[in-house]
Amino acid sequence: MTSREVLTAIVKDKRCPERMGLHESFWQDTQREWEKQGLPPAVNILDYFNLDVREIQGSLFRTTSIPVDEQVVDEDEHTVIKVNGWGAKFREWKNRPGVPEHLSFDLVHEDVWKKKYRENLLELDPRRFPDLEKLKESYRAGMASDRFCVYYQLIIFEIMRKAMGDLILLEAMYLSPRWIHDFCDIVTNNIIIHLEYMIREVGKPDGIWLYEDMGYTKAPFVSPALYQEFIFPYHRRVADFIHSYDLPFIMHSCGKIRPLLLHIVEAGVDGLQALEAKAGQHVVEMAEATGNKIAFMGNLDIRAFESNDQKTLEAEIVPKLRAIKEKRIPYVFFSDHSIPKSVNLETYRYALDLHKKYGRY
Amino acid sequence: MEDILKQIALCVEKGKIAREFPHPAELAGQDGVYELTQRALESGIAPQEILSQGLIAGMNKVGELFQAGDVFLPDVLVSARALSMGMMHLKPYFHSGAVKHKGKVVIGTVQGDLHDIGKHVVSLFFEGGGWNVIDIGVNVTAQKFLEAVAEHQPQAIGLSALLTTTMVNMEPITRMIKTTHPGVMVILGGAPVTQSFADRIGADCYSPDPQGALEFLNKHCS
């Protein structure tokens, strides 16, 4: 079976084909480090490791109210300060990944939303696609391959966090509920309008992969009740749209989202990715709780990879794959994070060997 | 007197900031922390009692609920907002010395890490527990922690890190503080940190949640 057939069976149909899916994401400096350990220079790392999924480059359209890329407004030796199209200011590292520091936000009140930001989001705006021709080219190349190709994008909660920051957003759910509902409604429609445009102008992919970080190690950012009130209706609307094209909806979320799991399934998410193990989540328990109504991707504890110890890695991976096989859980082999440079190339290769050996249904 | 202090504590717990705020629905139209604290002061209740039996008691309850997973971050933030309304009325009494903090804590995110929300939430709990928090920001070097300790003379420092790659920077900071200021307690927090890591680098406390860190402060530093 091709990557496309395997992933379609797992994520869209929730079936177990001949093997478990295989995918991964890597920190930007991992490949450079691995080249020092013997990885051939400048390879496409996804092709090199024969991974199943391809994100169609250019499909990450601009979701900020003002459709511009982040602008650098200041910098020092190690960091840059950027402003995004919501007027929010962040400090980021120049040459390495990491969570940015929140410096200031313009969108602090419903009045600012209505005066400056709401109007821009009401209609289709092709400027949100920086390079439509490149996107078409990337789509053609991806779909001509056997890989499972996805459009990828941020979604509602993640967009709110970038617009107003965690603190304002989380407080506003209680103190300005009308504003949050209006924001979610307008932004959801805007996402749908532009996904629809992309499908019409560029083509239909194999799936749509949306990024929505809703948890940290200890808990979800919001309670199940707040999820149900403020996020669920909009996830549902997006899911209905995606399903209207007979496509699967894959959602990424870091952190502990187990308390939201049944709501996420009800919203119509087809595949859930990351499933952080250090947040106390276990893919088999989650699958049992959902009755295999959703496919899972991830949950292989990154700390076991970072140990660079084959026994530790085996102890993490092998029992999970055996249980996944035994219980027929639609699953894609994936760490619960992304691979940092502290993981040795040899360790990652060994993980792939384990997938090959134990990752067949 | 007891009634109004209990009311203040309840309003902090429920996030009832002031009368004009409709949240929470069950207290809509009623006075919140802002009005109740003002009324308590006018009726002659000692500011220190309002702080400890009203504001801190309410925030402590939120901490327990948060630790147990019964409330979530939005609840904590709204409670902290309510508490800050009461603190506004108590500010002059802090200046005059009629109300005292339990002590000082210097808090920061360690070098290499720009992450700030975890530190912010822990600061809210420490402040809500009656501690004077000196937040020295993110990407803080060992030298900057040392300078802050020398300047502010805290009972404890709190170190935060989000990543395994930055967590390692807690070790030199802890070592330097323990060498130069052995009486200052070192508290660690953050997603990758574990008790065994804290033990290995010689920190005094690791807590997976803010309430645990506050309980350590109250027990060992005040």
List chain A residues with CB under 8 Å of B73.
166, 170, 219, 221-222
B19 and A CB contact within 8 Å: no
Q: What is the pLDDT of residues A191-235, one digit of tens each?
A: 999 999 999 999 999 999 999 999 998 899 999 999 999 999 999
Q: Do A218 and B208 touch (CB under 8 A)?
A: yes
**pLDDT tens-digit series, residues B89-144:** 999 998 898 899 999 999 999 998 888 888 999 999 999 999 999 999 989 999 99
Predicted pLDDT of residue B1: 65
**Rounded to a whole number, what is the distance in Å from the CA of A360 to chain B's nearest CA?**
32
Please count the structural domains in chain B: 2
Q: Which of A101, A228, A308 to mutate to test the interface with B (most CBs of B within 10 A)?
A: A101
- Whether residue B144 sits in one domain with residue B90: no
pLDDT surpasses 80 at A98: no
Cβ separation B74–A340 shorter than 8 A = no
Task: Tell if the CB–CB gap between B74 and A92 is shorter than 8 Å.
Answer: no
Residue B7: give its domain's CATH number.
1.10.1240.10
Give percent of chain A above pLDDT 70. 100
Q: What is the pLDDT of residues B44-64, one digit of tens each?
A: 999 999 999 999 999 999 999
Decide: B198 and B188 in contact? Cβ < 8 Å: yes
- Give the model's pLDDT for residue A93: 86
Residues B79 and B173 occupy one common structural domain? no
Q: What is the pLDDT of residue A199?
A: 98
Record the tokens describing residue B173, joined without a space: 């900071």
CATH number where A330 lies: 3.20.20.210
Please check whether residue A99 is in contact with residue B120, taking contact to mean a CB–CB distance below 8 angstroms: no
Answer yes or no: is A86 within a domain: no
What is the overall mean pLDDT for chain A?
96
Comparing CB atoms, the residue among A98, A166, A218 nearest residue B113 is A98
The secondary structure of chain A, three-state, reads: CCHHHHHHHHHHCCCCCCECEECCCECCCHHHHHHHCCCCCCCCHHHHCCCCEEECCCCCCCCCCCCCCCEEEEECCCEEEEECCCCCEEEEECCCCCCCEEEECCCCCHHHHHHHHCHHHCCCCHHHCCCHHHHHHHHHHHHHCCCEEEEEEECHHHHHHHHHHHHHHHHHHHHCHHHHHHHHHHHHHHHHHHHHHHHHHCCCCCEEEEECCCECCCCECCCHHHHHHHHHHHHHHHHHHHHHCCCCEEEEECCCCHHHHHHHHHHCCCEEEECCHHHCCCHHHHHHHHCCCCEEEECECHHHHHCCCHHHHHHHHHHHHHHHHHHCCCEEECECCCECCCCCHHHHHHHHHHHHHHCEC
A244-267 confidence digits (pLDDT tens): 999 999 999 999 999 999 999 999
Range A333-347 average pLDDT:
96
Domain endpoint, select from B75, B96, B117: B96
Rounded to two decimals, what is the model's pTM? 0.91
**What mean pLDDT is predicted for residues A123-136?**
95
Which pLDDT belongs to residue A168?
93
| Among B42, B70, B96, residue at a domain's last position | B96
Which domain-ending residue is among B96, B120, B142?
Answer: B96
Q: Work out the average pLDDT over A105-111.
A: 96
* Rg (chain A; Cα; Å): 20
pLDDT in tens, B201-219: 999 999 988 999 999 999 9
Query: Among partner residues B15, B139, B191, which is closest to A174 by beta-carbon distance?
Result: B15
Phi, psi dihedrals of residue B166, rounded to the nearest 5° = -100, -20
Band of pLDDT at residue B10, cut at 50, 70 and 90: very high
Which of B118, B161, B91, B133 minimizes the C-alpha distance to B221? B133
Residues whose CB is less than 8 angstroms from the CB of residue B179 and which lie 6 or more positions away in sequence, other chains included: none
Is A127 within a domain?
yes
**Which two tokens mark A212?**
């929505």
Which pLDDT belongs to residue A350?
98
Identify whether residues B187 and B142 lie together within a single domain: yes
Q: Are residues B76 and B124 in the same domain?
A: no
Q: Are residues B53 and B133 in the same domain?
A: no
Domain that holds residue B122: 104-220
Does some domain include residue A181? Answer: yes
pLDDT in tens, B133-185: 999 998 999 999 999 999 999 999 999 998 777 899 999 999 999 999 999 99
Look at chain A and report how many structural domains it folds into. 1
Mean pLDDT for the stretch of residues A4-16: 98
The count of CB pairs under 8 A between chains A and B is 79
Considering CB atoms only, which of A166, A218, A221 is closest to B209?
A218
- Shared domain for B109 and B135, answered yes or no, is yes
Q: Is residue A9 part of a domain?
A: yes
Please report how the helices B57-67 and B73-96 are oriented relative to each other, as an axis angle in degrees rounded to 10: 150
Any domain includes A293: yes
The ipTM, to two decimals, is 0.92
Domain assignment present for residue A286? The answer is yes
Quick one: B91 and B143 in the same domain?
no
> Nearest residue of B to residue A172 by CA position?
B74
Q: Both B76 and B122 in a single domain?
A: no
Assigned domain for A302 exists: yes
Residue numbers of the domain that contains A184? 3-67+106-358
Q: Within this chain, do residues B139 and B80 fall inside the same structural domain, yes or no? A: no
Structure tokens at A257: 């989202």
pLDDT at residue A96 greater than cutoff 80 = no
What Cα–Cα distance (Å) separates residue B9 from each residue in A86, A208, A229, B16, B61? 37, 47, 27, 10, 8
- Cα A310 to Cα A316, B82, B151: the distances in Å are 10, 51, 48
pLDDT at B181: 95
- The reply to whether B19 and B47 lie within a common domain is yes
The alpha carbon of residue A166 is apart from the nearest alpha carbon of chain B, in Å, by: 8
For residue A87, being part of any structural domain is answered with no
pLDDT at B146: 95
Q: What is the pLDDT of residue A292?
A: 85
Q: What gap in Å lies between CA B62 and CA B78, rounded to an integer?
A: 10
pLDDT value, residue A302: 95
The DSSP annotation for chain B comes to: -HHHHHHHHHHHHHT---TT---SGGGTTS--HHHHHHHHHHTT--HHHIIIIIIIHHHHHHHHHHHTTSS-HHHHHHHHHHHHHHHHHHHHHHHHTSS--S-EEEEEEBTT----HHHHHHHHHHHHTT-EEEE--SSB-HHHHHHHHHHH--SEEEEE-SSHHHHTTHHHHHHHHHHH-TTSEEEEESTT--HHHHHHHT-SEE-SSHHHHHHHHHHHT-
Task: Say yes or no: B91 and B110 in one domain.
Answer: no
pLDDT of residue A102: 86
Give the CATH number, domain containing residue B131: 3.40.50.280
User: Is the domain of B32 the same as that of B127?
Assistant: no
Task: Tell me what the mean pLDDT of segment A19-45 comes to.
Answer: 96
